[in-house]
Structures are given as C-alpha cells and as structure tokens.
C-alpha cells in the first residue's frame, strides 16, 4: 500500500495556465496588453517576482511579447495562439485518459458516458 499526495502546481505555472485559458476562450486576443508585473501581483496578492517568473515562461513560449518600458502584449502570431487551444485540449484529454485508463472501460462506453453527462449538464444549465 503506497500513497503519493497531491502536489500543487507551482503558482507561476497556474498563472501561465490562466493566461492560456483566457487566450483559448478569446478573453485575451492577439496583441492585447496584459497587466504589468506589479499590477497583477497586487491583484493576485502574490509576489511580483512570481508574476515575473510566469511572464518569463510565457515569453519563452512566445505567448507574449515583451519590450522594455512598455506593457507586455499577447503575441500576434496566429499559429502560436491556435497552438494554445491544441495544447490545453491535449492536456485535458491526457489527464482524463490517465484517470480513466485504470478503470479498464471500453472506449465506446467512455464515449457514451461522456455524451450522457454532456446531455445532463445541458439540461441542468438550462434549468438555471
């Protein structure tokens, strides 16, 4: 009997992920300015260096473009922006499959369960 505990993603990666979600959802669009390091840090009540770490990460992934003395901006490279959606989808599916695989269910049953839950979700949503 062995257990491995949940390990929380580093905060800076959570920040990166949040930006990726915003991009995938269309909340952030190409070329749009993002908050300054200090401002976001203040909003999120985290350390500016942690935000800086997140922004550096996004810079390296070419998600944002940063120049000295001006606010960083979302990339205008449509290819990269599209890649974000792909990446998020792939990651979600991957996590899902990792969780579901040990249950040893045939694919068609998994799919039909998904369809079922989407259907129910749609209903409860229309209840609101």
- Minimum Å distance from CB 35 to DNA? 7
On whether the CB atoms of residues 20 and 84 are closer than 8 A, the answer is yes
Residue with tokens 């993603």: 9
Residue with tokens 């009540």: 45
Q: How many other β-carbons are positioned within 10 Å of the β-carbon of residue 97?
A: 10
Contact region for its own copies (CB under 8 A) — 22-30, 63-71, 73-81?
22-30
Positions 62 through 91 that interact with its own copies (CB under 8 A): 85, 88-90
Contact region for its own copies (CB under 8 A) — 6-14, 64-72, 74-82?
6-14
Helix (H, G, I), strand (E, B) or coil at 33: strand
50 binds, among its own copies, DNA, none (CB under 5 to 8 A by kind): DNA
């Amino acid at each position: 009997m062995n257990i491995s505990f949940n390990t929380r993603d580093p905060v800076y990666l959570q920040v990166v992920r949040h930006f990726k979600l915003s991009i995938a959802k269309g909340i952030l669009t190409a070329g749009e300015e993002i908050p300054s390091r200090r401002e976001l840090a203040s909003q999120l009540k985290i350390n500016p260096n942690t935000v800086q770490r997140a922004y550096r990460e996004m810079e390296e992934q070419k998600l944002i473009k940063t120049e000295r003395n001006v606010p960083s901006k979302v990339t205008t490279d449509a290819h990269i922006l599209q890649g974000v959606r792909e990446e998020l989808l792939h990651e979600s599916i991957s996590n899902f499959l990792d969780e579901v695989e040990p249950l040893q269910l045939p694919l068609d049953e998994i799919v039909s369960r998904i369809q079922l839950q989407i259907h129910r979700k749609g209903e409860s949503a229309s209840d609101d």
